[in-house]
Amino acid sequence: MRRLIIFIAAMASFAMAYPQLTATEAFSSAPASVLPLIDYITRLDMIDYYSSGSATASKNVMQGQSRITALSPMSVSVSVTSGSECQIALLPMRGDTAIVCIETVMTPTPDSRVSVYDRDWKPLSGSSFAMPASARVTSKRYMQYIVSYLNEGELLFTHDDFKRLLGEY
């Protein structure tokens, strides 16, 4: 009985060590290397503005206008400048959550870069992804799973993004 109580206490403390991450927490805690144009305080202001229904834009470090364009518990879409966007989405993985950052430059044909991080914003490579327990899949099939998951959340993820993620460019 004593072992059971110790086991339950240990599991409860482990669960509290990794609380559920939300997209707003990921957005606000992103390091400057990921979102260099929007400082921490401005990000918090942007979340408050969007949550209150205000269309107020915030000044970024280049004195341009930035604003959140969409927000859900699993993703945040941000207009960083008039010519660039950033989407931060959470990707559930076995045991934890990955943070996917899609940075898009609005050229005549939008150009995106996809980066994947752990909850501490350390970059993850394709080999770091835990495969779904339901099936053995190749790396390419798992990336297709990620793309389909992101597209269900209405994130802009194109065929070119997928090819970049697989290193085919």
pLDDT, residue 78, reads 94
pLDDT, residue 130, reads 44
* Residue closest to 141 by CA, chosen among 92, 57, 122, 149: 149
Low-confidence ranges of the chain (pLDDT < 50): 4-17, 127, 129-139, 153-157, 168-169
Q: Are 60 and 46 in contact (CB under 8 A)?
A: no
Record the pTM: 0.66
pLDDT, residue 150, reads 57
* Residue closest to 27 by CA, chosen among 13, 14, 12, 38: 38
The dihedral through the CA atoms of 103, 28, 147, 114 has a sign that is positive
**Strand order across the beta sheet in which 65-71 lies:** 58-59, 65-71, 75-81, 84-93, 96-105, 111-117
